[in-house]
Amino acid sequence: MAKDKSFAAKLAKSSGTLSTHCSDCGEVRSPLFVVANVKDETKGTVKFKENFVGICKCNQNEVMK
Protein backbone atom coordinates (compact mmCIF):
# COMPACT_ATOMS: atom_id res chain seq x y z
CA MET A 1 0.00 0.00 0.00
CA ALA A 2 1.32 3.45 -0.88
CA LYS A 3 2.17 6.05 1.73
CA ASP A 4 0.12 9.20 1.91
CA LYS A 5 2.17 12.37 1.63
CA SER A 6 0.93 15.35 3.50
CA PHE A 7 1.19 18.87 2.14
CA ALA A 8 3.78 19.68 4.82
CA ALA A 9 5.98 16.79 3.66
CA LYS A 10 5.80 17.94 0.04
CA LEU A 11 6.60 21.51 1.05
CA ALA A 12 9.57 20.41 3.13
CA LYS A 13 10.95 18.40 0.22
CA SER A 14 10.69 21.28 -2.27
CA SER A 15 12.31 23.76 0.08
CA GLY A 16 15.03 21.37 1.26
CA THR A 17 18.77 21.54 0.69
CA LEU A 18 18.56 19.60 -2.59
CA SER A 19 16.66 22.37 -4.34
CA THR A 20 18.49 25.48 -5.46
CA HIS A 21 17.06 28.95 -5.77
CA CYS A 22 17.64 31.34 -8.64
CA SER A 23 19.77 34.35 -7.77
CA ASP A 24 17.77 36.63 -10.10
CA CYS A 25 14.11 35.85 -9.40
CA GLY A 26 14.34 33.79 -6.19
CA GLU A 27 12.24 30.92 -7.58
CA VAL A 28 13.12 27.28 -6.96
CA ARG A 29 14.99 25.79 -9.91
CA SER A 30 13.54 22.50 -11.07
CA PRO A 31 15.78 20.07 -12.97
CA LEU A 32 14.94 19.30 -16.58
CA PHE A 33 16.59 16.57 -18.67
CA VAL A 34 17.60 18.06 -22.03
CA VAL A 35 18.71 15.98 -25.02
CA ALA A 36 20.30 17.71 -28.02
CA ASN A 37 21.50 16.05 -31.21
CA VAL A 38 24.99 16.87 -32.48
CA LYS A 39 26.04 15.91 -36.00
CA ASP A 40 29.63 14.78 -36.57
CA GLU A 41 30.74 16.39 -39.86
CA THR A 42 33.65 14.01 -40.49
CA LYS A 43 31.73 10.74 -40.15
CA GLY A 44 28.22 11.95 -40.92
CA THR A 45 26.82 10.39 -37.75
CA VAL A 46 24.55 11.87 -35.11
CA LYS A 47 25.29 11.77 -31.39
CA PHE A 48 23.16 12.85 -28.48
CA LYS A 49 24.25 15.33 -25.81
CA GLU A 50 22.34 14.75 -22.58
CA ASN A 51 22.41 16.98 -19.50
CA PHE A 52 20.26 18.33 -16.69
CA VAL A 53 19.40 22.03 -16.71
CA GLY A 54 17.86 23.90 -13.79
CA ILE A 55 14.97 26.01 -15.02
CA CYS A 56 13.00 28.80 -13.36
CA LYS A 57 10.96 31.74 -14.61
CA CYS A 58 14.09 33.59 -15.79
CA ASN A 59 15.43 31.03 -18.25
CA GLN A 60 12.30 29.01 -19.05
CA ASN A 61 11.77 30.56 -22.50
CA GLU A 62 15.43 30.13 -23.48
CA VAL A 63 15.54 26.44 -22.54
CA MET A 64 12.15 25.49 -24.01
CA LYS A 65 12.74 26.83 -27.54
Q: What per-residue confidence (pLDDT) applies to 35? A: 93
Q: What per-residue confidence (pLDDT) applies to 50? A: 94
Q: What per-residue confidence (pLDDT) applies to 16? A: 57
User: What tens digit of pLDDT does each residue of 3-62 get?
Assistant: 777 887 777 766 655 567 888 888 888 888 999 999 998 999 999 999 988 888 888 888
Q: What per-residue confidence (pLDDT) applies to 23? A: 83
The residue with greater pLDDT, 63 or 35, is 35
Alpha-carbon dihedral 65, 58, 32, 38, rounded to 10 degrees: 40
Rounded to whole angstroms, what are the CA distances from 32 to 2, 11, 14, 29, 64?
26, 20, 15, 9, 10
Strand-strand pairing, 46-55 and 20-21: unpaired
Nearby residues of 21 by Cβ (< 8 Å), 6 or more positions away: 27, 28, 29
